[in-house]
Amino acid sequence: MDELEQIRERKRQEIAASSGADWPSEPVNVNDGNINDFIKRYETVLVDCWAPWCGPCRMLAPVIDALAKDMQGKVAFAKLNTDENQKTAMRYTIEAIPTLLVFKDGELADRWVGARPKEDLARRLQAML
Amino acid sequence: MNMDADVAIIGLGPAGLQAAIHAARKKVKVVALGKSASSALNKAEVENYFGITSAKGEDLLRIGREQAQRFGASIVEEDVIKLVKDGDAFRIVTETDLEVQARAVVLAMGIRRVKLNVPGEKEFLGRGVSYCASCDGGFFRGRAVAVIGEESEAAESAILLSEYASHVYWIHRGLKVSPQMLERAASTKIEMVPGDPAKILGEASVTALDLKDGRRLDVQGVFIALGAKGSMELALELGILPDPSGKISVDEDCRTEMEMVYACGDVTGMPWQLARAVGQGAVAGDNAAKAVRQGKS
């Protein structure tokens, strides 16, 4: 690859990153094995810790889906089933669900407990960008 | 004991009682369940309702119950602890194990006031403090927990938690639960502790609960379970999805997303006012009865 082609490739990657093309538009299911990679991959990450039997988690799910779409390119959304991924649940001392963990630059920056309206979560996330 | 109904109304506040009055006037069999004393109206003074310059909420509720009965509705002053769809009907179980089979259901339980308002409650939410034993009980396997509340939700929570926790303290200021629930609780390892919670303590998470009389209980979890199951919890049991604030969506006829399930009053949105609750109760009761009658013909 000549120098000009390298510059072109770099520019293509920069444009793709800035347009959010690499960012998921829906929540990605993560587990004990791959959550760390996901957290490190994006600048701002929200992990929805949930379980299938939890009513408030079901109430929150459509909100997380909608936010993942609205905030694509700004926040990457993931879902962690605490029943199947107890190692991560213990690591972050999850004692209530739903709990939303927010990571900035790979570090836990905040945690919000309970189902919340979309506008409230959008405002909180916007403040963290 | 079993009962059959065309329309079962869950909630004996203004929305539920108005729904009972309107449904019963349509000559269908109506059973209305709940406790008027749990309604927000029970302790209110009413002065902004059309035609009434001043009235005690308690008196309006008593008259409303009498009116509903006069039109033929049966009133069951018991908390509903279970609501399931059973074929074309709905099965309702109360705190005394009474079962009601109904063809239509009106959810009129209002909004649950769940907060205890003690220091530490907000600070340790999600780090030991929970309002949902069925959601969070599993995180307290082998640990000591306290359940706070006097009514059916506290009993249900304590019984459920006794399956997970190493020890369950049930803190209460005078129990208001059925003998059946009390008997079920007595058969578990629950320790009843009459008392008044003062403060939830901890560092990274909850470590203890202080009572106003100076006693300290070493617990890692505090489950606040005031009152009875609300409309939101009952809707979830049926598979209806309220929004994250707990509001149940209804159309102009007070129909929810599930056929033959109606909702009215505070649980469908603001303003949380008597006038709105009564108006919606009339619409819900009327339409639930109509739907049953149309099904019959």
Average pLDDT of the residues of chain A? 90
Q: Which of B183, B207, B224 is the last residue of a domain?
A: B224
Task: Give me the pLDDT at residue A18, please.
Answer: 55
Q: Which residue of A has its CA nearest to B125?
A: A113
- Per the structure, the count of domains in chain B is 2
Size of interface A-B (CB pairs under 8 A): 69
Looking at the fold, whether B99 and B141 belong to one and the same domain comes out as: no
Question: Does the residue B119 lie in any domain?
Answer: no
CATH at residue B33? 3.50.50.60
Task: Give me the pLDDT at residue A17, please.
Answer: 54
Question: Does the residue B265 lie in any domain?
Answer: yes
Looking at the fold, whether B169 and B134 belong to one and the same domain comes out as: yes
Catalytic residue among A35, A57, A89, A102: A57
Looking at the fold, whether B82 and B136 belong to one and the same domain comes out as: no
Catalytic residue among A51, A54, A66, A122: A54
Q: Which of B182, B208, B224 is the last residue of a domain?
A: B224
Looking at the fold, whether B6 and B108 belong to one and the same domain comes out as: yes
The answer to whether residue B138 neighbours chain A at the CB level (below 8 Å) is yes
As a whole number of angstroms, the distance between CA B93 and CA B99 comes to 5
Looking at the fold, whether B212 and B247 belong to one and the same domain comes out as: no
pLDDT at B152 over 80: yes
Looking at the fold, whether B15 and B106 belong to one and the same domain comes out as: yes
The answer to whether residue B125 neighbours chain A at the CB level (below 8 Å) is yes
**pLDDT, tens digit (0-9, with 9 covering 90-100), for B184-195:** 999 998 999 999
Task: Give me the pLDDT at residue B245, please.
Answer: 86
Task: Give me the pLDDT at residue A13, please.
Answer: 57
Task: Give me the pLDDT at residue B296, please.
Answer: 54
Task: Give me the pLDDT at residue B297, please.
Answer: 37
Looking at the fold, whether B182 and B211 belong to one and the same domain comes out as: yes
Q: Which residue of A has its CA nearest to B239?
A: A55
Q: If phi over 0 gives left and psi between -120 and 50 gives alpha, with beta otherwise, what is residue B174?
A: left
Question: Does the residue B117 lie in any domain?
Answer: no
Q: Which of B224, B245, B279 is the last residue of a domain?
A: B224
The answer to whether residue B137 neighbours chain A at the CB level (below 8 Å) is no
Task: Give me the pLDDT at residue A102, please.
Answer: 98
Looking at the fold, whether B197 and B172 belong to one and the same domain comes out as: yes
Looking at the fold, whether B101 and B133 belong to one and the same domain comes out as: no
Question: Does the residue B158 lie in any domain?
Answer: yes
As a whole number of angstroms, the distance between CA B42 and CA B29 comes to 26
What element of type H or E holds A31?
A: none
CA-closest candidate to residue B73, choices B10, B25, B14: B25
Question: Does the residue B143 lie in any domain?
Answer: yes
Q: Give me the half-sphere count of Cα atoms (radius 13 Å) on the Cβ side of residue B13.
A: 33
**pLDDT, tens digit (0-9, with 9 covering 90-100), for A46-63:** 999 999 989 999 999 999
Question: Does the residue B251 lie in any domain?
Answer: yes
Tell me the β-bridge partners of B171.
Answer: B148, B193
Task: Give me the pLDDT at residue A15, please.
Answer: 55
Q: Is the previous residue joined to A98 through a cis bond, with omega within 30 degrees of 0?
A: yes
Query: How far is the alpha carbon of B243 from chain A, nearest alpha carbon, in Å?
Result: 6
Looking at the fold, whether B187 and B202 belong to one and the same domain comes out as: yes
Residues of A in contact with B242 (CB under 8 A): 59
* Residues with Cβ within 8 Å of residue A119, at least 6 apart in sequence: none
pLDDT at B232 over 60: yes
Task: Give me the pLDDT at residue B85, please.
Answer: 96
Residues B156, B228: contact at Cβ < 8 Å? no
As a whole number of angstroms, the distance between CA B79 and CA B98 comes to 10
Task: Give me the pLDDT at residue A9, please.
Answer: 66
Tell me, yes or no, if A57 is annotated catalytic: yes
Range of the domain at B16: 2-112+229-296
Domains and CATH numbers, chain A: 24-128 (3.40.30.10)
Looking at the fold, whether B6 and B106 belong to one and the same domain comes out as: yes
